[in-house]
Amino acid sequence: MEKTIKAVTLGNNGIEIKNLPEPIPGNQQILVKVKSCGINRSDLLETQGQFFGHTSGDTKIIGGEFAGEVVQLGEGVDNLKIGDNVMCRGGSGWAEYALANSKRSIKFNLHNFSWEQAASIQGNMQTMHDAIVTNGNFVVGQSVFIQGASSGVGLIGLQIARALGAGKILGSSTNKSKLSKLSNYGADVLINTSNEDWLDDVLKATNGEGVDILIDMLSGDYVNKNMKATKINGYLINIGRLAGMNGPFDYDLHAKRRLHYVGTTGRTRSVAENFEVAKVANDDLWEHVINGKIRHVIFKSFPLTEAKEALNIMNNNKHFGKLILLIN
C-alpha cells in the first residue's frame, strides 16, 4: 500500500492540507521526517501568485526551509546517515516528510539548537551574509543600516553586523514597540521610518555622510531616501520589497552618489551558486551560531494545520521575529 503524508499545498483552491504520496529520494537526496519549518516572505509571496520560476498546481507543496531527522538515503549520499538531525533548504518542506539535497543539508546536535531554531537559522543567516558581506563588501568598522529590521531576517542581520565588528549599526521599524526592542539584538541607533524626517536621523548619526552599507527590505517609495541615507560610493543592497515592488527612482541622485546598488535573491540562483553562498556564510558565521551570538527571535510556532493563520500574521506584519511551523 502506498504511504501518504500530510502537506500544505498551493493549488487552484488556494492553501490546503492534502494527503500526498510519500516522496522517494533520488541521487544525492535524503528523505527527512520534518520536525519544524521556517515561514519566509517568499512563501507568502508564492501564495499571492509570485512563483519565482516554479509552477503551481494541486500538488505544489509550499516551504523552502525545514529541519528534521534523516530516515532514508538516496543513491550517492556519503555525508549523512539515517538518524542524523539536519537543517535543510530547498522546496516542498511544509510536509510530514520532505526531500532535501544532502549537500545543502547541515547536520546539527539538539544540544545546541531547538527545532524552532534549526528550521530557519541557516537560510536567514545565508541571506544576510550574502547581502552584508558578499554584496555589501563589508569591512570591519563600517556602519550598517538594516532598513526593516524587526523581521526574522532583519534581526539576524543586526546580529551578524555586530558579530563581524560593524562600527555603528542602525535598525529601523515603523512600529514603536518593535523598534524599542532592536537594541537588544545589536542596533546602536533606532530609526522610526514612520516619521517623515527619518532620513535626518540617519544623517545625524553618521556625521551627515550616510551609512557605508544599507540593507533594504522595504523598497517601494523608500528607494530615493535610502540612496540619500547611503554614503557616497557606498553599498545599497536590495533584498526585500515590503513597501512595494515598484517606486520612483532618481537616476541622477544614484549617479551623483556613485552608489553600488545591488539586488540579490537566492530564488533565481543555480544549485551551485546556492552551494557557494552557503559555504562562505557558514565559514564566516557558524562559530557565532554555535556560541549563541546569532540566534533567531521566535515570535510564535504553529502546527502544520494552522499554516494559513501563520501566513496571515506575516501578511499583516503582526510579528516580531520568526514564525515557525512545528510537526509532531
* Residue 50 scores a pLDDT above 80: no
What is the pLDDT at residue 128? 97
What is the Cα–Cα distance from 93 to 80, expressed in whole angstroms? 19
User: Of 189 and 40, which is predicted with more confidence?
Assistant: 189
**Average pLDDT taken over every residue of the chain:** 92
* 134-192 per-position pLDDT tens digit: 999 999 999 999 999 999 999 999 999 999 999 999 999 999 999 999 999 999 999 99
Cα 56 from chain centroid (whole Å): 22
* 249-271 per-position pLDDT tens digit: 999 999 999 999 999 988 788 88
4-107+297-326 and 123-263 have identical folds = yes
Which run of H or E residues covers position 46?
Answer: helix 41-47
- For 24-30, what is the mean pLDDT? 96
Instruction: For the chain, give every domain's residue range.
Output: 4-107+297-326, 123-263
Closest CA to 230 of 137, 125, 128, 124: 137
* Residue 53 scores a pLDDT above 60: no
The grid cell for 313 is 500574521
> Which residues, 6+ apart, have CB-to-CB distance to 135 below 8 Å?
235, 237, 262, 264
What is the pLDDT at residue 55? 43
* Residue 60 scores a pLDDT above 90: no
In this structure, whether the domain defined by 123-263 belongs to CATH 3.40.640.10 is answered with no
Q: CB of 128 within 8 A of CB of 265?
A: no
* Residue 36 scores a pLDDT above 70: yes
The grid cell for 33 is 521526517
What is the Cα–Cα distance from 295 to 206, expressed in whole angstroms? 28
The residues pairing with 173 across neighbouring beta strands, listed in sequence order, are 192
DSSP state letters, 250-274: -HHHHHHTT-EEEE--STTS-HHHH
* 83-119 per-position pLDDT tens digit: 999 999 888 999 999 999 998 899 999 888 899 999 9
User: Of 52 and 197, which is predicted with more confidence?
Assistant: 197
Give the three-class secondary structure for 68.
strand
**Confidence class of residue 12 from pLDDT cuts 50, 70 and 90?**
confident
Kindly list the strands in the beta sheet with 60-61, ordered across the sheet, starting from the edge strand earlier in the chain: 14-21, 4-11, 60-61
What is the Cα–Cα distance from 271 to 45, expressed in whole angstroms? 21
Q: CB of 108 within 8 A of CB of 80?
A: no
Class for domain 4-107+297-326, per CATH? alpha beta
Radius of gyration from C-alpha coordinates of the chain: 20
- For 305-324, what is the mean pLDDT? 93
- Pairing type for strands 4-11 and 189-192 reads unpaired
* Residue 289 scores a pLDDT above 60: yes
User: Count of CB atoms within 10 A of residue 169's CB?
Assistant: 25
What is the Cα–Cα distance from 53 to 117, expressed in whole angstroms? 28
* Residue 52 scores a pLDDT above 70: no
Give the three-class secondary structure for 181.
coil
- Grid cell 537560510 — which residue? 123
DSSP letter, residue 185: G
**Confidence class of residue 326 from pLDDT cuts 50, 70 and 90?**
very high
* pTM reported for the whole predicted model: 0.90
What is the pLDDT at residue 57? 47
